Each structure stands twice: as C-alpha cells, then as structure tokens.
C-alpha cells in the first residue's frame, strides 16, 4: 500500500523567511496530493492541493510542486508570518473518495 514520508519533522524560521516541507510517496498510482494545516486543538484545515496532471499550483503565499517521476511533492510558504505556525501534514490518495494516506507532520514555528 501507499506510504508517505514527510521531512523535516520540525522547522523553525524567522518571520519573512520562506519555509519548505517535502514529502515522498511510494505508490505511482497516487494522483491527488493535499496539504493540511492543523492548529492546536483543531481539526486539519485543507490549505492547498494538487492533482497529478499539473506540476505546480500557487495560492497567494503558498505553493505546491509535484514531481511524479521522483514521486515527491513539496509545500512552499513565502513571507512567513507568526500565524503560519502550526503542524502541516501532506497526504496522498489514488482515487477520489477514498482514504488519504498522511505523512507524520511538520511542526512549523515562525518567530517574529
């Protein structure tokens, strides 16, 4: 079955810097890759996703890139702000309406 590895487990940046979180997946049939942000005591919030037919997607300060050949995808956050501090999870699935397989998360800390 699918396995998703996520790195780093923790990431500390200064406000205004960029942050990059990387994930690799094992199942070449995976075609959907969402990213979730989870704040303390809350459920995960979908922040951006990408499907296998595109290589990059941007939404304001966040972007996701996908390399299907290498089976890895990354989350890029530019101009980080203290409110970006949270745990970020990547995930993958190979069919709409089925289970997401999650990475173990990255704790991002943005200091002002």
- Contact positions toward another protein, by CB under 8 A? 6, 32, 34, 36, 41-46, 49, 51, 89, 91, 93, 96-105
51/58 with CB nearer another protein: 51
16/99 with CB nearer another protein: 99
Q: Which residues, 6 or more positions from 76, have their beta carbon under 8 angstroms from its beta carbon?
A: 18, 19, 20, 62, 63, 64, 65
Number of CB atoms found within 10 A of residue 67's CB: 11
Contact 5/23 with Cβ under 8 angstroms? yes
Structure tokens at 9: 């487990």
27/49 with CB nearer another protein: 49
1/14 with CB nearer another protein: 1
Q: How far is the CB of 34 from another protein (least distance, A)?
A: 7
Q: Max CA-CA distance within the chain?
A: 41
Q: How far is the CB of 79 from another protein (least distance, A)?
A: 26
Size (the chain), residues: 112
């Amino acid at each position: 079955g699918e396995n998703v590895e996520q790195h780093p487990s923790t990431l500390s940046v200064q406000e205004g810097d960029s942050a990059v979180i990387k994930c690799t997946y094992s199942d070449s049939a995976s075609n959907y890759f969402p990213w979730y942000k989870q704040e303390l005591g809350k459920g995960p919030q979908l922040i951006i996703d990408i499907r296998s037919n595109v290589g990059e997607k941007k939404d304001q300060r966040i972007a996701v890139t996908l390399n299907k050949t290498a089976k890895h995808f990354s989350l890029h956050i530019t101009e980080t702000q203290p409110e970006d501090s949270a745990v970020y999870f990547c995930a993958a699935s190979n069919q709409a309406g089925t289970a997401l397989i999650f990475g173990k998360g990255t704790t991002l800390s943005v200091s002002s």
